[in-house]
Amino acid sequence: MKSLFVPFIMVFLLLFSCQNPQKKIQGENTSSKDSIQLVQMILDREKAMVQKDMGLAMARFTEDATWINSQGYYFEGKHELQKFHNMMMHNDSMDYYYEVGKPKIRVLSSQSALAYYSWKMFWYKKEIPTDTTYKEIGFMTLTAQKNGGIWKWTAVTNQHTPWFYPEINPVVAE
């Protein structure tokens, strides 16, 4: 009996002396929890755009956030971002359908992350909702910082793409 007990203890000690499993679990849980929070922020943005809810759309931007839209215009500060969103949400003659693809999150550290997602915004004249007059499709890159346990968007870069990606998959150059 003693001969089986000694090897078991040695294997047990060897496994747990090589790494701190609690640290690994906390790191994975934190990263997973952060990723979930960042994905939720993107889903909240989609909801805000669909419902034209300016409060929800602006809630997670820092005061000094920047935005480069799909036409290459650079907006600086939350107030300017709000004016830009207001132009889209409250256009006199045009309205839109908005949808996002599955986000891809890259947590860089416990305080910094990147988020990517595709989007499509189909514009139509308010008088004729079934007649799409302009199809915008693009890819969003967002930079987020966590301060006081709360994630906020600090910078956004947006570009048009030829098609909508329901899911983001890396491209392999050949």
96 CB contacts (<8 Å, ≥6 apart)? 88, 121, 122, 123, 124
- The answer to whether 142 and 115 have CB atoms below 8 angstroms apart is yes
**pLDDT confidence of residue 7:** 44
- Strand (E) or helix (H) holding 65: strand 61-68
More confident residue, 26 or 77: 77
* pLDDT above 80 for 44: yes
Burial of 123 (0-12, 13-18, 19+ CB in 10 A): middle
User: In angstroms, how far is the first alpha carbon of the chain from the final one?
Assistant: 60
* pLDDT above 50 for 51: yes
pLDDT band at 31 (very low <50, low <70, confident <90, very high): confident
Residues in a beta bridge with 113:
107, 144
**pTM to 2 decimals?**
0.79
Q: Using the 8-state DSSP alphabet, how is residue 167 labeled?
A: B
Report the distance separating Cα 101 and Cα 162, nearest Å.
Answer: 14
79-118 residue pLDDT tens: 999 999 999 999 999 999 999 999 999 999 999 999 999 9
Report the distance separating Cα 1 and Cα 115, nearest Å.
Answer: 55
**pLDDT confidence of residue 164:** 93
Distances from the Cα of 117 to the Cαs of 24, 101, 131, 140, 174, in angstroms?
28, 6, 26, 5, 24
Residues in a beta bridge with 94:
125
Written as six digits, the tokens of 38 are 């960042």
Report the distance separating Cα 153 and Cα 38, nearest Å.
Answer: 9
- The answer to whether 105 and 90 have CB atoms below 8 angstroms apart is no
Class of domain 24-160: alpha beta
140-159 residue pLDDT tens: 999 999 999 999 999 999 99
The percentage of residues in the chain with a pLDDT greater than 90, rounded to a whole number, is 76
Torsion from C-alpha of 134, 140, 145, 147, nearest 10 degrees: 30
